Amino acid sequence: MLKVGCCGFAVARERYYKNFEVLEIQKTFYQFPRLETVIKWREEAPKGFEFTLKAPQLITHLPSSPTYRKLGYSIPDKQKPYYGFFKPTDMVFEAWNKTQKIAQLLEAKIVIFQMPPSFQPTLENKRNMKKFFKKIKRHGLRLVWEPRGEWDKKEIRNLCSQLGLVHCVDPFKTEALAGEFVYFRLHGVRGYKYRYTDRDLRKLKVKCKEKKEIYCMFNNVYMFEDASRFKKMVWK
C-alpha cells in the first residue's frame, strides 16, 4: 500500500482533496487550530480521506526555537524550561492531550514527532523521551519519530523497539531503520526550494517497491507538483 501526499495544504483544500488521499497537517506544530476548524476539515474532506498530523513544537522543540514566533502567544520566562524535548512535564503532557483530541476529531491514526537537529542523543534527552512515550495514552495512534541529530543507527532501532515508534526519514538522505510501516518525509534533495527531477522520482519509486506499507509525504516548495508527478509515475 502506497500513499502519496503533501505536508500541508499546498493549494486550495478542494483542489487538494481531488488530487490526493492523504495530507499531513502542519498547523498543529505551530499552534493548535480551533476545534471548529478541525471538524470543518474532516467534514469537507471526501470519505476515506486520511489525515496525519505533526506533533506540536511544545512537545518537540525548546522555546528558543524561532518556530515559536508562530505560536500565537508568549510563554512566560519562568515556564520556558518546561517545554520541548519530550520533557515529562504537565505542560508537555497537556500539549499531547490536545493533540490527541485533534487526532480523534480528524479520525487520524498517525502523529509525527519531527525533532530539531539540536535534539542530540544525550542521556537526559533519551531519559525524557522514554518517560514521555511510556506515560502517554495512545488510543490506537501510530507514532512516528523523525530524529535529525547525530543519532547512532543501533540507538534509533533500540528506542523505536522499546517505545513502539516508527522511524521517519527523508529517503534521499538515509534509510528507515524501524517500524511496522514506512513514513517518508521528502524535504528536497538540496533543501526546501528543490524541485524533484524525473530521475529522482524514479529512484523514489524503486525505494517504495521495497516496502509493504508506505507514506510518501512531500515537504518542499514544489510539493504539490512533485507529489502529483510522482503519483502519476507510480500508477502509470
Q: Tens digits of per-residue pLDDT, 91-123?
A: 999 999 999 999 999 999 999 999 999 999 999
First and final C-alpha spacing in the chain:
16
Residue 219 clears pLDDT 90, i.e. is over it:
yes
Q: Which domain holds residue 125?
A: 2-234
Task: Read off the pLDDT of each residue in 38-56 and give the average, rounded to a whole number.
Answer: 97
CATH for 204: 3.20.20.410
pLDDT band at 196 (very low <50, low <70, confident <90, very high): very high
Residue 77's pLDDT is what?
96
Q: Tens digits of per-residue pLDDT, 164-193?
A: 999 999 999 999 999 999 999 999 999 999
Residue 211 clears pLDDT 80, i.e. is over it:
no
Q: Tens digits of per-residue pLDDT, 124-165?
A: 999 999 999 999 999 999 999 999 988 999 999 999 999 999
Residue 236 clears pLDDT 80, i.e. is over it:
no
C-alpha span between 16 and 114 (Å, rounded):
23
Count of structural domains within the chain: 1
Residue 53's pLDDT is what?
97
pLDDT band at 209 (very low <50, low <70, confident <90, very high): confident
Residues 35/54, Cβ–Cβ less than 8 Å:
no
Angle among Cα 115, 152, 128 to the nearest 5 degrees reads: 50
Residue 187's pLDDT is what?
96
C-alpha span between 190 and 11 (Å, rounded):
23
Q: What is the DSSP letter of 50?
A: E
| DSSP string of 100-160, one letter each residue | HHHHHHHT--EEEEEPPTT----HHHHHHHHHHHHHS--TT-EEEEE--SS--HHHHHHHH
Sole residue written with cell 505542560: 91
Report the chain's mean pLDDT, rounded to a whole number: 96
